Every structure is written in C-alpha cells, then in structure tokens.
Amino acid sequence: MKEPKDTRVVVGMSGGVDSSVAALLLKEQGYDVVGIFMKNWDDTDENGVCTATEDYEDVIRVCNQLDIPYYAVNFEKQYWDKVFTYFLDEYKAGRTPNPDVMCNKEIKFKAFMEHAMSLGADYLATGHYARVRENEGVYEMLRGVDDNKDQTYFLNQLDQNALSKTMFPLGDIPKPEVREIALRNGLATAKKKDSTGICFIGERNFKEFLSEYLPAQPGKMQTLSGEVKGEHDGLMYYTLGQRQGLGIGGAGDPWFVVGKNIQDNILYVGQGFDHEALYSEALVATEVNWTTGKAPEEPFTCTAKFRYRQKDSSVTVYPLSEDQVKVVFDARERAITPGQAVVFYDGDVCLGGATIDEVEKNNQPMSHVG
C-alpha cells in the first residue's frame, strides 16, 4: 500500500457540500487530491445561465480553499447516449426508469473512472453515503452508516473493478456531521442546499420536461373492470401507486394508479391506497449485478429494497440465469414498479441489484402492471 501522499485520489466534485467534504477529508488524510467536475448536461437557459457553470464556480472556490487542483470534464455525449436515451426509452415503454443508477454505472464509475485513471489516479472518490471494505481480496460495498442517507441503492451496479478503485470518504459519517465539518472549515458550499430530484431536470416541472422529448398520447383512464373514469395525459406521466394528478372526484376512497396498458394506451386506476391490484408477491428482474463478482447458483434469502429509502423487506432470490433472477417476497409488496431497481442486502453488505421487469402474483405475471 502506497503512502497517502503518493496516492492520487480524484474526487468527483459536484459543487455540493457532500463532495466538498469528501475532498476535504482526503486532503486532511494527506492524499494527493485532485478535484474534477463532471459536466453531463447542458441546461443553459435563454439568459445564458447554466447551473453547471454555477456549480463549477463552487467547485473552484472549495478547491482553492483546500489548495488542490481542479478541472472539469465533459461527458455530455456519453450521458446522452448511455443515460438519457435509456431514460427516454424506458418512459416510452411505460416504465419508470432510474437514471441515477444508470449514471453511476455508465458515467461516474465507468467513463469518469477511466478518465481519473488516465490522470494517474489510484482511486476515484465521491461524496456518496456508502462504504467499501476489503475482505480477503474481495471488495464489499456496505451501506453508509447514516441510514437516512445510505446511497447503495443507486450504486447497486458497481462491480469489483469499480469497487477496488473507489473511496467513499463520507460512508462512516452521518450527514448532519458532514454539514458541521463543512461549516467548521468554512467551506464555500457549507450552506448550499442539497440538490433534489433527477439531475438534468432539477427544479423544473417533470411533466413539462418530459413533454419536450416525448410526444404525449392522451388516452382513457379506466378501472380494471373497464369503467372509464376520465382521460390521462400520456402514460409516461404516471407511475404505479401514484395518487396525485388523476383528477377523479366523487365519493369514497381516493384514486390511485394501479396499472398501465401500453398497447391500448390505457391507464388503470383503482380506489384506495391498499387497492388489491397494487399488491404483488414476486418479481422478475434482469441486468443483474453481483457486487462481489460471484453469482449465486442456489436460491438464498436476504433483504431487498425496491425503491430508494424504503425499509428492507425479506425475500428469497432464485437465480434464473446469469442475467435474471426471480425474487419472492416473504410478505406481499405494494406498487412494485418495472424499471426501478431491486437491490439486495445481507446485513449492511449490498450484494448487488437488478432492474425490475415483471411483477407476479399467484405465480402469474400481473399483466395490468405493464
């Protein structure tokens, strides 16, 4: 193992407080730290204002405070090809994609990592809340100690190659303490608001954004038994279990999205948060990644998350092929959504994850889910 001073660590810096503190901690530990800002999306508005420019300004200010070199790299093309195209394709298919998972897989821990390595870096560090632990030559990814902020859900596609060269300096620290460190050190980004939502959409209206790229096809909104309840604006604007924006009035329980029929452009709705049609017992997922690089051959039990920030659920995983698993839930689950990730855990260790393709009940695919 090299001395920290001989170990070059490239920190992916977004201009936010987390990556700022990640850089600060590495610098304090004596590493040869290089800050790099990634520009993945151009959102320059009619006034020439671009959030990337503002964010990079923050990166510059923090790096100058830390006295580390800073650079920027442009991955707009790769991001468009690998992340945004996927994002649109999934919406076109009526699914609910997770661009953050894809961005980590294809951009941050692939293209960006290659860039870092081409600069002679030994490691790539980010401000994610996760941990890496080496265990007899195997790199394991662990949840961040701050349960509230743990980001392994988004990192489920990382493999051994990526993990062996990754540092997560914030993994052991609760988020409030990260803010405190930033404040104590007077970092320029100490009071900056955390970014929310999908990075390329930012604060904008999601529906408006999507309509700029995909033609919306309004259609019927009906119950599973065929009763028409109104019009929908386009299937892509709705996700399973959603309550807002349906505009169905009348007596009784509120209405929820319970399914989609892509072929006939129908949005299925049902009454009540706990509508039966929202509940499933198993799922089939593809694009499976095992973070340890070792694919299990036998069925096993573990816990899983089907959405970010959800509590873990107990499941049994049945490997179907190298790229496909069936996941059977101990207790039925509400609103499992195709396109989202299912992520597996053994205690704190994130075993990997996959993309939800099909949802099942009574061993039958739930066709109304899409």
Task: For residue 202, state whether it binds another protein (rule: CB under 8 A).
Answer: no
Task: For residue 49, state whether it binds another protein (rule: CB under 8 A).
Answer: no
Task: For residue 34, state whether it binds another protein (rule: CB under 8 A).
Answer: yes
Task: For residue 80, state whether it binds another protein (rule: CB under 8 A).
Answer: no
**Rounded-to-integer distance, Cα 318 and Cα 300, Å:** 7
Task: For residue 248, state whether it binds another protein (rule: CB under 8 A).
Answer: no
Nearest distance, CB of residue 15 and another protein, angstroms: 10
Residues 286-305 interacting with another protein (rule: CB under 8 A): none
Task: For residue 199, state whether it binds another protein (rule: CB under 8 A).
Answer: no
314 labelled binding-site residue: no
313 labelled binding-site residue: no
Q: Count CA atoms closer than 13 A to 134's CA, side-chain side.
A: 8
Task: For residue 190, state whether it binds another protein (rule: CB under 8 A).
Answer: no
Cross-strand bridge partners of residue 228:
222
Q: How many other CB atoms are there within 10 angstroms of residue 63's CB atom?
A: 24
Among 4, 28, 29, 60, binds another protein (CB under 8 A): 60
The kind and range of the H/E element at 63 are helix 51-66
Among 2, 49, 53, 148, binds another protein (CB under 8 A): 53
Nearer to another protein, 35 or 370 (CB): 35
Task: For residue 120, state whether it binds another protein (rule: CB under 8 A).
Answer: yes
Degrees, nearest 5: CA angle 133-62-163? 20
Is 302 one of the annotated active-site residues of the chain? Answer: no
Total residues binding another protein (CB under 8 A): 21
Task: For residue 39, state whether it binds another protein (rule: CB under 8 A).
Answer: yes
Among 119, 183, 228, 248, binds another protein (CB under 8 A): 119
Stretch that binds another protein, among 114-122, 192-200, 279-287, 358-366 (CB under 8 A): 114-122
Helical residues (DSSP H) of 67-205, grouped into ranges: 76-79, 85-92, 99-102, 112-118, 160-164, 175-184
Stretch that binds another protein, among 45-53, 163-171, 203-211, 352-360 (CB under 8 A): 45-53
Among 29, 73, 78, 230, binds another protein (CB under 8 A): 73
What is the per-residue DSSP string for 277-296?
GGEEEEEEEEEEEETTS---
Among 4, 28, 29, 71, binds another protein (CB under 8 A): 71
Among 9, 27, 37, 285, binds another protein (CB under 8 A): 37
**Rounded-to-integer distance, Cα 328 and Cα 125, Å:** 35
Degrees, nearest 5: CA angle 181-182-184? 65
**Rounded-to-integer distance, Cα 117 and Cα 10, Å:** 9
Is 50 one of the annotated active-site residues of the chain? Answer: no
Pairs from 183-190 (Cβ < 8 Å, separation ≥ 24)? 185/24, 185/65, 186/65, 187/17, 187/20, 187/21, 187/24, 187/62, 187/65, 188/20, 188/58, 188/61, 188/62, 188/65, 189/15, 189/16, 189/17, 189/20, 189/58, 189/61, 189/62, 190/17, 190/20
The kind and range of the H/E element at 346 are strand 341-346
Nearer to another protein, 43 or 312 (CB): 43
DSSP-based three-state secondary structure for 93? coil
Among 4, 28, 50, 92, binds another protein (CB under 8 A): 50
Indicate which residues carry an active-site annotation: 103, 199
Footprint of another protein (CB under 8 A): 34, 36-37, 39, 50, 52-53, 55-56, 59-60, 69-74, 115, 118-120
